[in-house]
């Protein structure tokens, strides 16, 4: 990108030498200085230029507002990008000489110019002189820079549909839209459509300054999705556009040749998935800044931002990312596992899941009563109020436990009856405040509907955060959720999750998926023997520990050990995890369990050591299907970072393969679910939750279960458990 430094506008310093020194002090020494006598000619040249940065100051910022929107104007020392743009050269002249927005509007409304008595007279004279110079240098013809854009703007609905029908091959698409409400179930308000082909960029305006084609928006949307169903298209975050704009169930688009660069970048392991970040990193191109309220901007501005920016970048990124996936042998991960889920995830988010608000209120009241009872009991016995943090700490002190920390993992390790009221109080309060009250708050925000639905976000690649940044989904390929996080919804309130009228819920859950994968991948003979014969690996672990130590730790602790130790956890971590389940282990017992595990499952630990070695050599580990996870800390001299990286590498092989399996199952079931009226509502860990018309429930349950179990892994068969019920808790 070329850098031009406007010394005349940079500051109010009196000489050019002083201004150049000022630029040097600000760190802008590298670049071409624009001398005062060259400002106007440079402005003319930059009206249609791109990939240039103008460094100026507050006194010069307005001068450069007429340049192309792909020329970045950086104002120093304030440090913000000056985003004002105009196509009106007279308005520009008024602003360039320092007139305010209000003064400019007043002057433009006058039939004739201001009189000499007017305080703005001298400024207007300067502006008119500057405007005259500008027109003279353009041959007395006003040429607003946008009109020469390479973007073809198609205004009429008939021409838009004709253009859509003429498209061939792969083309990039992107809707410009905004929600009319914060309610996620509402369709988006369409502003326009961007399309980029191999050689041409198009913009179809719907709303804009002086344009209102909204009456024809349904016709345009219908034509677009007819095209999408049968022609290859590429989008960046297709799920968002489909959910917002497609008027029907996005499941209509299952099987459509939809490509998505955000998913490609996620599989490729890119740390930032934003389109602008990817374009800058992989295409070496800065995008046009997004004007606020795009529907209020000139259509030409929207065209340059959208088509010359977003879809052109998306089109070019597709080929770049495809090559990256081919080079790392991950193209099949994208094409066979991630890409087919786009319509399915859009449908899950669009329709949400019904939540029985009366059950939520009932549970809220029960827990509020329990919370009040504990609080009253402690207040009576100790004159301490658990509502106050200082009194919770005082309660610990009264029982001889002195700690400034109220961290749950610390408190759970206390093995004494007196800690139970405090743990119960804190647990109930968290359940009520963070879950039940949140549901009621969301229901009220939605206007207290008779049928309340929760609309989670399922993060296939990631999600936007509240501060405007992007948070990637887990590197293992696991699909997380937000608003709310379904993974941590307590089982105590799962009774609130229901099905629409006339339907029931079906839950299908892979049984011990990660342990089966750990056994299959490591080929550990003991694990394979127990699981292959239909045995319970947790009960087996319990018996092995008792034989070696003489202690019956119980099945929950044995289960904790099985899961924790598979990923390299040691005695300290085992103690912490067991405490969460109410089991209190001494360090000696925990250490003995680790030793027993390593001896009993020696085949697994040989594989673990080998996995660490090969991952360190390669710099990444991968799933059975080939999904990769790179980690720069493999082989690090820092023991802590290296240990974390080694555990993550082996974790990736098992958990990542589990992610590939559950996503494969989702895609396969989606192909046939609609013929039963079934809708996938939730995906949590290794579990899928559908709602299905009651009369089709048993048949669909059997089919979906067989599809999930038909996915093959080495040495073992997958096992699926589940059931049918009126709410999520009832099934379990």
Tens of pLDDT along 452-484? 999 989 999 988 776 666 788 889 999 988 877
Query: Average pLDDT over the chain, rounded to whole?
Result: 86
Distance CA 60, CA 390 (A): 57
Distances (CA, A) of 451 to 391, 444, 445: 42, 12, 13
Looking at residues 336-340, what average pLDDT do you find? Answer: 96
Distance CA 377, CA 197 (A): 71
pLDDT at position 385:
94
Q: What is the SS3 assignment for 75?
A: strand
> How would you write 266-330 as a 3-class SS string?
HHHCCCCCCHHHHHHHHCCCCCCCCCCCHHHCCHHHHHHHHHHHHHHHHHHHHHHHHHHHHHCCC
Identify the burial level of 584 via C-beta atoms within 10 angstroms of its C-beta, where 0-12 means exposed, 13-18 middle and 19 or more buried: middle
pLDDT at position 727:
93
Confidence of residue 345 (pLDDT cuts 50, 70, 90): very high
When mean pLDDT is compared across 8-12, 171-175, 481-485, the lowest value belongs to 8-12
When mean pLDDT is compared across 140-149, 186-195, 544-553, the lowest value belongs to 140-149
User: Could you tell me which residue, 415 or 59, shows the higher pLDDT?
Assistant: 415
Distances (CA, A) of 448 to 105, 296, 357, 369: 45, 33, 9, 24
End-to-end CA distance of the chain, in Å? Answer: 59
Q: Are 277 and 252 in contact (CB under 8 A)?
A: no
Q: Are 220 and 247 in contact (CB under 8 A)?
A: no
When mean pLDDT is compared across 164-173, 306-315, 710-719, the lowest value belongs to 306-315
When mean pLDDT is compared across 10-19, 509-518, 723-732, the lowest value belongs to 10-19
Confidence of residue 291 (pLDDT cuts 50, 70, 90): low
User: Could you tell me which residue, 15 or 704, shows the higher pLDDT?
Assistant: 704
pLDDT at 645 over 90: yes
Maximal C-alpha separation, the chain: 104
Confidence of residue 292 (pLDDT cuts 50, 70, 90): low
User: Could you tell me which residue, 217 or 76, shows the higher pLDDT?
Assistant: 217
pLDDT at position 489:
76
pLDDT at position 144:
36
pLDDT at position 239:
94
Provide the CB-side half-sphere exposure for 701 (13 A, CA): 20
pLDDT at 487 over 80: no
Confidence of residue 15 (pLDDT cuts 50, 70, 90): confident
pLDDT at position 586:
83
**pLDDT digit string (tens) for 658-691?**
999 999 999 999 989 999 999 999 999 899 999 9
This prediction's pTM: 0.78
pLDDT at position 309:
77
Q: The tokens of 538 are what?
A: 């947790």
Q: What is the SS3 assignment for 558?
A: helix
Q: At 631, phi and psi to the nearest 5? A: -145, 115
pLDDT at position 395:
92
Neighbours of 28 (CB within 10 A): 19
Looking at residues 625-640, what average pLDDT do you find? Answer: 93
Q: The tokens of 229 are what?
A: 């169903």
When mean pLDDT is compared across 140-149, 263-272, 603-612, the lowest value belongs to 140-149
For tokens 């349950």, name the residue. 701
All structural domains of the chain, each given as residue ranges with its CATH number in brackets, are: 2-145 (no CATH), 151-351 (3.30.420.10)
Q: The tokens of 611 are what?
A: 């996995």
pLDDT at position 609:
94
Confidence of residue 611 (pLDDT cuts 50, 70, 90): very high
Confidence of residue 350 (pLDDT cuts 50, 70, 90): very high
Identify the burial level of 102 via C-beta atoms within 10 angstroms of its C-beta, where 0-12 means exposed, 13-18 middle and 19 or more buried: exposed
**pLDDT digit string (tens) for 536-595?**
999 998 898 888 888 888 888 888 888 888 877 788 888 877 777 777 778 888 888 889
Residues 6+ apart with CB under 8 A from 645: 631, 632, 633, 634, 636
pLDDT at position 13:
66
Q: How large a percentage of the chain has pLDDT more than 70? A: 91
Distance CA 641, CA 628 (A): 19
Query: Which residues, listed in sequence order, are joined to residue 150 by a DSSP beta bridge?
Result: none
Residues 6+ apart with CB under 8 A from 654: 514, 517, 518, 521, 566, 567
């Amino acid at each position: 990108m070329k850098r031009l430094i406007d010394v005349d506008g940079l500051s109010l310093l009196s000489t050019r030498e002083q201004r150049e020194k000022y630029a040097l002090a600000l760190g802008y020494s590298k670049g071409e200085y624009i001398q005062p006598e060259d400002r106007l000619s440079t402005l003319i040249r930059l009206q249609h230029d791109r990939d240039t940065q103008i460094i100026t100051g507050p006194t010069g910022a307005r001068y450069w507002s007429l340049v192309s929107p792909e020329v970045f104007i950086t104002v120093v020392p304030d440090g913000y990008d000056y985003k004002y743009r105009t196509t009106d050269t007279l308005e520009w002249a008024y602003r360039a000489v320092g007139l305010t927005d209000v003064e400019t509007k007043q002057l433009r409304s006058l039939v004739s110019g201001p009189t000499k008595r007017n305080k703005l007279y001298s400024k207007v004279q300067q502006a008119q002189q500057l405007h005259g110079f500008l027109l003279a240098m353009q041959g007395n013809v006003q040429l607003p820079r946008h009109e020469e854009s390479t973007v073809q703007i198609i205004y009429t609905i008939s021409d838009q549909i004709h253009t859509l029908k003429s498209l061939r091959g792969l083309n990039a698409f992107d809707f410009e839209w905004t929600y009319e409400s914060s309610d996620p179930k509402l369709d988006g308000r369409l502003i326009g459509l961007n399309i980029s082909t191999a050689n041409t960029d198009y913009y179809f305006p719907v709303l804009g300054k002086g344009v209102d084609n909204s009456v024809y928006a349904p016709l345009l949307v219908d034509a677009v999705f007819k095209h999408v169903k049968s022609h290859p298209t590429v989008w960046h975050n297709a799920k968002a556009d489909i959910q917002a704009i497609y008027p029907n169930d996005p499941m209509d688009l299952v099987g459509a040749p939809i490509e998505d660069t955000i998913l490609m970048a996620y599989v490729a392991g890119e740390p930032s998935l934003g389109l602008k970040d990817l374009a800058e990193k992989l295409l070496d191109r800065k995008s046009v800044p997004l004007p606020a309220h795009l529907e209020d901007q000139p259509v030409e501005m929207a065209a340059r931002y959208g088509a010359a920016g977003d879809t052109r970048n998306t089109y070019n990124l597709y080929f770049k990312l495809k090559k990256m996936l081919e080079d790392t042998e991950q193209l099949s991960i994208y094409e066979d596992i991630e890409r087919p889920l786009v319509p399915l995830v859009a449908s899950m988010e669009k329709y949400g899941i019904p939540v029985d608000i009366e059950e939520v209120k009932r549970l809220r009241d029960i827990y509020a009563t329990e919370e009040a009872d504990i609080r009253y009991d402690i207040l009576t016995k100790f004159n301490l109020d658990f509502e106050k943090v200082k009194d919770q700490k005082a309660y610990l002190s009264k029982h001889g436990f002195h700690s400034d920390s109220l961290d749950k993992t610390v408190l759970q390790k206390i093995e004494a009856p007196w800690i139970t009221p405090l743990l119960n109080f804190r647990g109930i309060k968290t359940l009520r405040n963070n879950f039940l009250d949140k549901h009621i708050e969301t229901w009220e925000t939605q206007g207290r509907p008779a049928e309340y639905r929760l609309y989670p976000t399922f993060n296939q690649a990631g999600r936007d955060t509240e501060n405007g940044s992007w948070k990637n989904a887990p590197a293992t390929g696991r699909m997380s959720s937000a608003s709310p996080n379904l993974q941590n919804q307590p089982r105590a309130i799962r009774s609130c999750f229901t099905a629409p009228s006339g339907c029931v819920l079906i839950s299908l859950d892979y049984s011990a998926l990660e342990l089966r994968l750990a056994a299959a991948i490591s080929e550990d003979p003991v694990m394979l023997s127990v699981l292959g014969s239909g045995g319970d690996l947790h009960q087996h672990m319990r018996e092995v520990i008792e034989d070696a130590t003489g202690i019956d730790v119980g099945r929950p602790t044995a289960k904790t050990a099985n899961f924790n130790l598979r990923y390299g956890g040691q005695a300290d971590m085992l103690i912490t995890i067991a405490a969460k389940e109410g089991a209190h282990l001494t360090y000696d017992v925990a250490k003995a369990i680790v030793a027993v595990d390593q001896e009993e499952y020696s085949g697994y630990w040989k594989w673990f050591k080998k996995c660490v070695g090969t991952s360190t050599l390669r710099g990444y580990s991968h799933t059975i299907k080939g999904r990769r996870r790179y980690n720069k800390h493999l082989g690090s001299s820092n023991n802590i970072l290296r240990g974390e990286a080694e555990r993550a590498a082996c974790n990736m092989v098992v958990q990542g393969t589990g992610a590939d399996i559950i996503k494969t199952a989702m895609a396969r079931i989606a192909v046939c679910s609609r013929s039963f009226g079934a809708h996938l509502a939730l995906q949590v860990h290794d579990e899928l939750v559908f709602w299905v018309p009651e009369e089709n429930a048993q048949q669909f349950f059997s089919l979906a279960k067989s599809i999930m179990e038909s996915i093959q892994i080495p040495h073992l068969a997958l096992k699926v458990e589940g059931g049918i019920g009126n709410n999520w808790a009832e099934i379990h």
